[in-house]
Amino acid sequence: MSIFISFLEIGFSHILEGYDHLLFLTGLIIVSKNFKQLLPVVTAFTIAHSTTLILSALEIISLNSLLTETLIAASIVYVGAENIFKKNFNGRWSIAFGFGLIHGAGFSGHLTGLLKTVMGAGKVWSSLIGFNIGIELGQVAVILIAFPLLFLIGKKVAQETLVTVFSSTIAAAGFVLIVVRLWF
């Protein structure tokens, strides 16, 4: 199996196992009324996290992992709270972009160690691109499952109630992650 495919599978698995990233992504999805509204938000998040993923994995930039993981948890609290208290989500792509920069540094923590195993093989770019595409495919899979599911639930439950319940849970989970990451 090629290095590219191996890292693609690792990236795909990483997003599906990364509950913190899934919480954040769900927070972005839940207030979107349609794919047209969701697309710029997810695109901004993707561009941002891809940028810092590459820069961090290649050790061009280096961020403290405790700080990065705590900021990721804080981004979850923020998106959950914003969903509850804000009613207009125009320009949300800028928030997704800013937090995407932080999430990319978090993704790279897992990737950096794996890249060291292929450094000598001259396969760094193939590995890096495979991992990143795997993450993107995982995100697309989550969106293609979660968005219609949330839409269907929204037909049975008032949209405002749905957003409040899910977003409160997302924010609370983010707060727990902050506590765990700082003190345990």
Say what percent of the chain tops pLDDT 70. 97
d(CA 23, CA 30): 11
41-69: string of b/e by CB count within 10 Å (b at 16+)? bbebbbebbbbbbbbbbeeeeebeeeebb
pTM of the entire predicted model: 0.91
Contact 23, 81 (CB under 8 A): no
pLDDT recorded at residue 120: 59
If pLDDT is split at 50, 70 and 90, which confidence band does 1 have? low
pLDDT recorded at residue 3: 87
pLDDT tens, position by position, 61-105: 988 989 999 999 999 999 999 999 988 888 899 999 999 999 999
**One-letter amino acid of 112:** T
pLDDT recorded at residue 123: 79
The domain limits of the chain are 3-183
If pLDDT is split at 50, 70 and 90, which confidence band does 154 have? confident
How does DSSP classify residue 152?
H
pLDDT tens, position by position, 6-25: 999 999 998 999 899 999 99
